[in-house]
Structure 1
């Protein structure tokens, strides 16, 4: 056995999208990262996740991959819901006024991972395939990890920090002794990527409900659609994959429009039991993605929720390792992301159950509720942001996401915050940014003097952006009607909205943010 007593600063177990994002975030900060993965990537059966929602397209700008994903993915304007062939409601991503990316993007998880692996390589990192975590001991403060390589070689290493992104059967989670429990949702699905001839729109995903069950058809471009449908437990396995005839039969029975399944590119089945870890952090060890939570695939939220874990953890951990923040900020990873995971699990559980109601009375009630919500605009105001994950907020509603863009790695050294051509503020990727907001109406006459006093009071290295010209309506609503100083976290969430007439308040908030004191009370002062 090889023993490495001084390992890399961060060891990431798992090279799915979550682990790769963590690696990219840290590598672009010059932080040493080692990524190991036990699985066999590239198998189509592994590629369940096939949609990236608007919020995640925003965050992927942080590591400079959104453009490449847009080049190879298929854009969707929204998601339509049907019952017995009749459209009930539509959640339009294209009508989200508070995102620079008002659409969803479909592509296979394998393609997403390919883009992220290339980015890891561009940043000087590597992925060690065929290396699995077999044991973790963090009783000494610093994790001690045993790794087993293909071929049987065993290695022991002591990284400074460990990120377990090693899937639902996470060895890291089990070795840390963290419970993994959840609500009683237990559904099996058959899935395929298939070539279709269909009358259904190619720019919408389609959730179709029928008395016999539910089916989802998600266009992926070039006539290929992802199809998912509920099936009895143990009806299919890797030796007996779901056949084309099954999908055609269920499409005929449940789907809206007219569709012929021409060819299966692959098919498989899986069983979902909703689980959420009781803690996402234990000392210097973290859980992210499926290692931390498995939720219903309804709404395509699983991978996207894991990606947001990765971004939330990475800006905080990299800040700690660079000396920008104290270690206390890492406690907020557990509290923030666990709360969001429970919320997403509840919403996807509701969506799953909505598609599986059987009795005529319940079907009628569901259909009436969907149609009423669509007609009154509630569906667009509530369901669309939930699906697009633009409604994510931390600390209740204290730290909502702001509709901003994040400066990607192409921004040069010394490049400060700016307004993008479309009017979206581009904030600093690694530090809190201060937005000086004159209000929706004509700025007060003394606004220039007030703004200058705020600037003078801030530390010299504070990223500051004057919102001196028109901004998108969604951002204006979020910032409020009157003048304000908005302090924005590196992940685009609002830290606080403060009174510009009290500039020292902003300075004290930034100091506390670095020292990691709780800043929730600051909002009550604004």
Structure 2
């Protein structure tokens, strides 16, 4: 390019990509005092990147970096998601009936607004986004990554960051430079989407998945009469020079959607093609992939951005602990194993939703509709599909590390309890360290529990965050901990590490020591 090449001293972490995933990683690291650079080549406004829903689990995790309240002040709350066939309601997955989340609703909010909130938080924490800076090459030698960054105007910068996070989208340069394969199941569907002003008889506190022989359509209220509309279309029906028109959306709404709706005005429209892909590895030495750089899944269920944000949180608390000397580097192995497994699970579930919407023979339609109605009538839909959609069902280690119904607050200080809408309180665990929950169960005599609790406290390492669950707790947490007394060791992301006998607290002390040092999996 003929530009000047300059060398820069080592930076702790280089984050490539300033979408929601890269911004979350940077905010998490910055609030722990880790040096971070965020560069972004400049992303186009493709429909593919326009996520518009944040699920309950992510609202919990976003509280870690102190942005959930800001998002709630902007977005539109949904009580759940309803499915229809031929205009008849089949089933409903209610977020409002999730007893194990402090945020029992989905939040619809434009990705642009989500990014604005995250950028504002990044700036508050002392970070900036360097716009127009493109990673052009990456050498991931044994000593750590070495990169070239091309700036607008032709200046080339050589940098050797201590760590690198590639959050640079589906066409990730980081992934390509690392030589990581990017394959997936044979899902290949094209969608047309719009945000439109809609006059409708459908409820504005539910999103609506509507199936018809001609295909599927989703209508998601975003507040103030605006709805996200998404529907499958033939490949190459539209492109960036020929966006889908209002008349097409109205025709498909009339054909596929339940209720009566009129598309008044398109705020924007576009089309995109989805080929499901998952990277064969999310880590290579001191380099990591997160978000679309690691996985692209079907938009059915609105899981993509949420899954990417959970990558960011899973990686950032581990990486910051390693950099600060609190964890051994072996804990980072678990980022790859945990998040790749979840990505495959999400890909499978969204693939099923996508295929369910494309059923078109009478026999298959009847079978699908009967299955949905039976699952709804027996409560299976609420027990299985609602937590899966809300991502509160995410578990690691083959299910041995489930998420617990807790808050992980971004406010520093001693753990406390926050109000619980259904009565009781939500225990707040430390966001940076493993915490211990002392749970008396439902049958232990108070005097016996006091003695057990004091012995356990004395045996734990000094400085261990400990929560005594002696007050009323949410029913979802009580169920997760069980009826008997327990000492639960909880990871900083709210996932259970182990449930132990409180009468043998030395086991917890040993487990905490192993969790804080070099381990292949936390």
Q: Are the equivalent residues in 2 in contact too, given 1:218–1:225 (CA < 8 A)? A: yes
Match of 2:206 among 198, 204, 228: 204
Q: Are the equivalent residues in 2 in contact too, given 1:54–1:388 (CA < 8 A)? A: yes
Q: Distance in 1 between matches of 2:457 and 2:341?
A: 35
Query: How far off is 1:156 after superposition?
Result: 1.1
1:426 is aligned to 2:424: no
Q: Distance in 1 between matches of 2:46 and 2:199?
A: 22
Task: Give the structure 2 partner of residue 27 of structure 1.
Answer: 30
Task: Give the structure 1 partner of residue 328 of structure 2.
Answer: 326
Q: Are the equivalent residues in 2 in contact too, given 1:199–1:259 (CA < 8 A)? A: yes
Task: Give the structure 1 partner of residue 61 of structure 2.
Answer: 59
Q: Distance in 1 between matches of 2:471 and 2:392?
A: 24
Task: Give the structure 2 partner of residue 9 of structure 1.
Answer: 12
- What is the aligned length? 515
Q: Are the equivalent residues in 2 in contact too, given 1:443–1:483 (CA < 8 A)? A: no
Task: Give the structure 2 partner of residue 106 of structure 1.
Answer: 108
Q: Are the equivalent residues in 1 in contact too, given 2:182–2:280 (CA < 8 A)? A: yes
Task: Give the structure 1 partner of residue 141 of structure 2.
Answer: 139
1:36 is aligned to 2:39: yes
TM norm structure 2: 0.97
Query: How far off is 1:148 after superposition?
Result: 1.1
1:18 is aligned to 2:16: no
SS of the residue corresponding to residue 144 of structure 2 reads: coil
Query: How far off is 1:136 after superposition?
Result: 0.4
Q: Distance in 2 between matches of 1:405 and 1:381?
A: 21
Q: Distance in 1 between matches of 2:119 and 2:57?
A: 21
Q: Distance in 2 between matches of 1:279 and 1:518?
A: 16
Q: Are the equivalent residues in 2 in contact too, given 1:44–1:110 (CA < 8 A)? A: no
Query: How far off is 1:198 after superposition?
Result: 0.2
Q: Are the equivalent residues in 2 in contact too, given 1:45–1:266 (CA < 8 A)? A: no
Task: Give the structure 2 partner of residue 125 of structure 1.
Answer: 127
RMSD of aligned Cα (Å):
1.2
Go from structure 1 to structure 2 and tell me whether the alpha carbon gap of 1:519 and 1:185 turns closer, same or farther (over 3 Å shift): closer
Task: Give the structure 1 partner of residue 352 of structure 2.
Answer: 350
Q: Are the equivalent residues in 2 in contact too, given 1:434–1:486 (CA < 8 A)? A: yes
Q: Distance in 2 between matches of 1:59 and 1:249?
A: 40
Task: Give the structure 1 partner of residue 283 of structure 2.
Answer: 281
Query: How far off is 1:442 after superposition?
Result: 4.6
Task: Give the structure 1 partner of residue 234 of structure 2.
Answer: 232
Q: Distance in 2 between matches of 1:321 and 1:125?
A: 18
Query: How far off is 1:56 after superposition?
Result: 0.1
Q: Distance in 2 between matches of 1:323 and 1:351?
A: 43
Task: Give the structure 2 partner of residue 524 of structure 1.
Answer: none
SS of the residue corresponding to residue 457 of structure 2 reads: helix
SS of the residue corresponding to residue 325 of structure 1 reads: coil
Q: Are the equivalent residues in 2 in contact too, given 1:215–1:227 (CA < 8 A)? A: yes
Q: Distance in 2 between matches of 1:487 and 1:94?
A: 28
Task: Give the structure 1 partner of residue 415 of structure 2.
Answer: 417
Q: Are the equivalent residues in 2 in contact too, given 1:23–1:120 (CA < 8 A)? A: yes
Query: How far off is 1:149 after superposition?
Result: 1.3
Return 5+ residue gaps in structure 1 as ranges: 521-526
SS of the residue corresponding to residue 445 of structure 1 reads: helix
Q: Are the equivalent residues in 1 in contact too, given 2:48–2:272 (CA < 8 A)? A: no
Q: Distance in 2 between matches of 1:171 and 1:443?
A: 60
Q: Are the equivalent residues in 2 in contact too, given 1:451–1:500 (CA < 8 A)? A: yes
Q: Distance in 2 between matches of 1:437 and 1:468?
A: 7
Q: Distance in 2 between matches of 1:381 and 1:218?
A: 22
Task: Give the structure 2 partner of residue 156 of structure 1.
Answer: 158
Q: Distance in 2 between matches of 1:499 and 1:314?
A: 30
Query: How far off is 1:444 after superposition?
Result: 5.4
Query: How far off is 1:47 after superposition?
Result: 4.8
Task: Give the structure 2 partner of residue 523 of structure 1.
Answer: none
Q: Distance in 1 between matches of 2:248 and 2:110?
A: 22
Q: Which runs of 4+ in 1 moved over 6 A?
A: none
SS of the residue corresponding to residue 18 of structure 2 reads: coil
Query: How far off is 1:155 after superposition?
Result: 1.2
Q: Distance in 2 between matches of 1:374 and 1:450?
A: 44
Q: Distance in 2 between matches of 1:327 and 1:180?
A: 26
SS of the residue corresponding to residue 39 of structure 1 reads: coil
Query: How far off is 1:468 after superposition?
Result: 0.9
Q: Distance in 2 between matches of 1:443 and 1:166?
A: 55
